[in-house]
Amino acid sequence: MSSQRSIATATLAAFLFAAVPAPAHAQQPSAPSPLKASIDRAAASTQLPQRKSTPVRKAAMQGGGGGGGMMVMTLIGTVAGLAATYFVVKEMKKQNDTATTAQ
């Protein structure tokens, strides 16, 4: 029982610790490195070709989503996962009960 409580406490602490934002430390702005200055100069001297805008087709704006078949597969996968979880938990309880009664 105490191990369950300590695991639950550790899990709760981990979730709460992850939810708290990290403090932002103010850093002194450093001088730009020579590499960054070189990259900035190269980027300023390079010009990319401009693309012409093309009209957007209506079919491209509609989301696919996989249709009804994917919905069925998702539901089957979800049910199978829940059933497997239920089975494993039930078997673990059986093993725990037999281990407890054997002592």
User: Which residues lie below 8 Å from residue 40, measured CB to CB, with a gap of 6+?
Assistant: 32
pLDDT, tens digit (0-9, with 9 covering 90-100), for 77-87? 999 999 999 99
pLDDT, tens digit (0-9, with 9 covering 90-100), for 22-73? 665 555 556 668 888 888 888 887 777 777 777 666 555 555 556 777 888 8
- Nearest by Cα to 65 from 52, 54, 74: 74
pLDDT value at 88 more than 90:
yes
**What pLDDT is stored for residue 82 in this prediction?**
96
pTM: 0.35
Q: Which two tokens stand for residue 102?
A: 């054997």
CA distances in angstroms from 92 to 5, 14, 23, 84, listed in the order given:
18, 26, 42, 12
**What pLDDT is stored for residue 64 in this prediction?**
59
